[in-house]
């Protein structure tokens, strides 16, 4: 089994969560911290197997919750919920089209935080929500949509640069070779 | 579309979530700290990377500039020593007067400087993590101040090396606050708009509260978590609520919560 792609996706998720917790710039500039995990789930759903997708949802959710005040495990289901339907219908999706990538990234980034909030409210927690949350939701959606094509390009580039190369078939076949001249016996 | 492998993955994810959410809170918090500790090597790397430009700038600073800075710091140190001597004398006098009146003595607080290592990645909480933990004597509910001495929050969770600080404005950090006005109105600071981090809500004020913008707000000492007299901010505006039966105000925080880099933890 080729572990390169799962390792690459999980490493990117780890760094993305750390970056979100480390860099205050998006929050200062836009009033909201951007989240790359939903867009990464879309990438994994379209380019990796189901095991990688499940691992990304579990590990990404755990890492996110461990650095946040969220109860541990709350982010796992929303991440899997946005990735699983995309995985099931991946043959019908134009995965190389940037518009499709943007749309899926934006939709995933809109659904995932809404589900987390819903789970938190259902669990009796009091997250900080108000009218300003609509703006934050918009920022999350648009930034997730914009991040998706970048993640796809980055993932493809890393795959080509560091992954196993595809074995190309040669047109030459020795059994079909036309030999000229006298056949020596 | 639905292969057996897909069913298994779905089942595994659901199982993990059910197990995590049904764990006792103590086990969950330990697990959370254990998972969070995976990021510790990156904290070190990021800290070193942030320190590098400052170190480079220091190494190219001219000698004359350094001597000037040393001279200025010496003068400031002298002034602070004099102020400290005065403060010690005032504290002693205060203790003596408290003793004469039969009041309980003030317990002195110790301050510990901590670096803010990361912020909450979720938009619906206001927490930060600091690089002091239980090995440094940090405990939950200890008040946390900004580098300038303004209240920023309290310690919510402690691990061996790190602690989580819940900031003012988070729904989990409510502070009893006293307004510096003739009526000494007392209210409770709570959450407000998620986008604007500089304003918080001051509720539970009486309808007769005489609030004007610019009045100072301090901790009231009620509730037992925050000692009395820590500056919080200034009244921004006020309005009657609940059909005029109560007053609600917005407080402009003195501390810039979005740019916290170093904080003081008050240790009893």
pLDDT in tens, B139-151: 999 999 998 889 9
Taking only the tens place, the pLDDT of each residue in B222-253 is 888 888 889 999 999 888 888 878 889 999 99
* Exposure string for B2-19, b = 16+ CB within 10 A, e = fewer: eeeebeebeeebeebbee
Which range of A63-67, B94-98, B254-258 scores highest in mean pLDDT? It is: A63-67
Whether residue A96 is contained in a domain is answered as yes
CB-based burial of residue A146 (10 Å sphere; 0-12 exposed, 13-18 middle, 19+ buried)?
A: middle
Are B146 and B268 members of one domain? yes
* Domain limit, last residue, from B73, B106, B139: B106
- Residue span of the structural domain in which A116 resides: 4-162
Q: Quote the number of domains for chain B.
A: 2
Q: Which chain A residue is nearest to residue B3, measuring alpha carbons?
A: A88
Are B169 and B191 members of one domain? yes
CB contact under 8 A, A68 and B13: no
Tell me the chain B residues in contact with residue A135 when contact means C-beta distances shorter than 8 Å: 195
Residue A150 sits at the vertex; the CA angle it makes with A148 and A151, to the nearest 5 degrees, is 65
Helix or strand run (H / E) with residue A138: helix A132-162
How much is the pLDDT for A184?
59
CB contact under 8 A, A64 and B38: no
Q: What distance in Å separates the CA atoms of residue A121 and residue A143, rounded to the nearest whole number?
A: 25
Tell me the chain B residues in contact with residue A89 when contact means C-beta distances shorter than 8 Å: 1
- Work out the minimum CA distance from B81 to partner chain A, whole angstroms: 36
CB contact under 8 A, A77 and B17: yes
Q: What is the CATH number of the domain that holds B204?
A: 2.40.10.350
pLDDT band at B182 (very low <50, low <70, confident <90, very high): confident
Which residue in B20, B38, B194 is closest to A73 by CB distance?
B20
- Work out the minimum CA distance from A64 to partner chain B, whole angstroms: 7
Q: How many helices (H) and strands (E) does chain A have?
A: 7, 0
CB contact under 8 A, B120 and A57: no
Are B268 and B163 members of one domain? yes
Whether residue A170 is contained in a domain is answered as no
Which residue in A76, A84, A135 is closest to B16 by CB distance?
A76
| N- to C-terminal Cα separation, chain B | 62
How much is the pLDDT for B1?
55
CB contact under 8 A, A65 and B32: yes
Q: What distance in Å separates the CA atoms of residue B266 and residue B62, rounded to the nearest whole number?
A: 38
Tell me which of B138 and B26 has the higher pLDDT. B138
Q: Quote the number of domains for chain A.
A: 1
Are B27 and B148 members of one domain? no
Are B162 and B266 members of one domain? yes
Are B60 and B84 members of one domain? yes
- Residue span of the structural domain in which B30 resides: 1-106
Are B96 and B136 members of one domain? no
Are B256 and B151 members of one domain? yes
* Domain limit, last residue, from B106, B133, B151: B106
- Average pLDDT value for residue range B191-204: 85
Are B41 and B122 members of one domain? no
Whether residue A185 is contained in a domain is answered as no
Are B174 and B100 members of one domain? no
CB contact under 8 A, B122 and A68: yes
Please give, one letter per residue, the 3-state secondary structure of chain B.
Answer: CCCHHHHHHHHHHHHHHHHHHHCCHHHHHHHHHHHHHHHHHHHHHHHHHHHHHHHHHHHCCCHHHHHHHHHHHHHHHHHHHHHHHHHHHHHHHHHHHHHHHCCCCCCCCEEEEEEEEEECCCCCCCEEEECCCHHHCCCCCCEEEECCCCEEEEEEEECCCCEEEEECCCCCCCEEEEECCCCCCEEEEECCCCCCCCEEEEEEEECCCCCCCCCEEEECCCCCCCCCCCEEEEEEEEEEECCCCEEEEEEEECCCHHHCCEEEEEEC
Whether residue A68 is contained in a domain is answered as yes
Whether residue A180 is contained in a domain is answered as no
CB contact under 8 A, B194 and A136: yes
Are B119 and B64 members of one domain? no
- Asked casually if ipTM beats, i.e. exceeds, 0.90, the reply is no
CB contact under 8 A, B156 and A65: no
* Domain limit, last residue, from B53, B83, B106: B106
Are B182 and B49 members of one domain? no
Whether residue A61 is contained in a domain is answered as yes
Which residue in B23, B172, B194 is closest to A133 by CB distance?
B194
Which residue in A27, A28, A50 is closest to B6 by CB distance?
A50
The verdict on pTM exceeding 0.90 is: no
Q: What does the DSSP 8-state code read for residue B60?
A: T
Which residue in A21, A53, A129 is closest to B119 by CB distance?
A21
What pLDDT tens digit does each residue of chain A (185 aa) get?
467 888 999 999 999 999 999 888 888 888 889 999 999 999 999 999 999 999 999 999 999 999 999 999 999 999 999 999 999 988 888 888 999 999 999 999 999 999 999 999 998 888 988 888 999 999 999 999 999 999 999 988 887 787 666 666 677 777 777 777 766 55
């Amino acid at each position: 089994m080729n572990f390169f792609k799962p390792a690459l996706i999980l490493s990117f998720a780890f760094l993305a969560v750390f970056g979100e917790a480390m860099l205050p710039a998006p929050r200062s500039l836009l009033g909201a911290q951007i989240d790359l995990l939903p867009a990464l789930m879309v990438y994994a759903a379209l380019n990796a197997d189901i095991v990688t997708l499940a691992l990304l949802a579990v590990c990404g959710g755990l890492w996110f919750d461990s650095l946040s005040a969220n109860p541990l495990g709350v982010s796992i289901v929303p991440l899997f919920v946005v990735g699983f339907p995309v995985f099931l219908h991946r043959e019908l999706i134009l995965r190389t089209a940037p518009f499709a990538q943007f749309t899926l990234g934006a939709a995933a980034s809109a659904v995932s935080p809404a589900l987390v909030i819903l789970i938190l409210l259902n669990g009796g927690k009091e997250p900080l929500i108000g009218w300003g949350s609509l703006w934050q939701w918009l920022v999350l959606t648009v930034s997730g949509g914009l991040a998706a094509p970048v993640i796809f390009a980055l993932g493809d580039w890393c795959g080509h640069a560091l992954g196993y190369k595809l074995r190309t078939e040669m047109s030459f076949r020795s059994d079909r070779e036309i030999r000229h001249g006298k056949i020596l016996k | 579309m639905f292969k057996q492998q897909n069913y298994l993955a779905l089942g595994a994810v659901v199982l993990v979530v059910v197990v995590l959410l049904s764990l006792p809170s103590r086990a969950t918090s330990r697990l959370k700290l254990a998972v969070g500790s995976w990021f510790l090597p990156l904290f070190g790397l990021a800290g070193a990377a942030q320190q590098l430009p400052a170190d480079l700038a220091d190494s190219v600073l001219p000698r004359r500039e350094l001597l000037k800075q040393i001279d200025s710091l010496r003068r400031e140190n002298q002034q602070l020593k004099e102020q400290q001597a005065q403060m010690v004398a005032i504290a002693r006098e205060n203790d003596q007067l408290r003793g004469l009146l039969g009041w309980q003595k003030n317990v002195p607080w110790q301050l510990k400087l901590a670096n803010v290592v990361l912020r909450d990645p979720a938009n619906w909480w206001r927490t930060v993590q600091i690089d002091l933990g239980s090995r440094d004597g940090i405990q939950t509910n200890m008040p946390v101040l900004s580098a300038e001495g303004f209240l920023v929050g309290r310690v919510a969770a402690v691990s061996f090396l790190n602690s989580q600080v819940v900031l003012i404005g988070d729904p989990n950090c409510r502070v009893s606050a006293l307004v510096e006005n003739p009526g000494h109105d007392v209210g409770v600071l709570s959450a407000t708009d998620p986008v604007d981090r500089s304003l918080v809500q001051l509720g539970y004020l009486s309808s007769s509260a005489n609030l004007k913008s610019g009045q100072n707000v301090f901790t009231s000492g009620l509730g037992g978590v925050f000692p009395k007299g820590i500056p919080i901010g200034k009244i921004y505006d006020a309005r009657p609520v609940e059909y005029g039966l109560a007053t609600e105000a917005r407080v402009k925080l003195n501390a810039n919560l979005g740019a916290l880099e170093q904080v003081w933890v008050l240790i009893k």
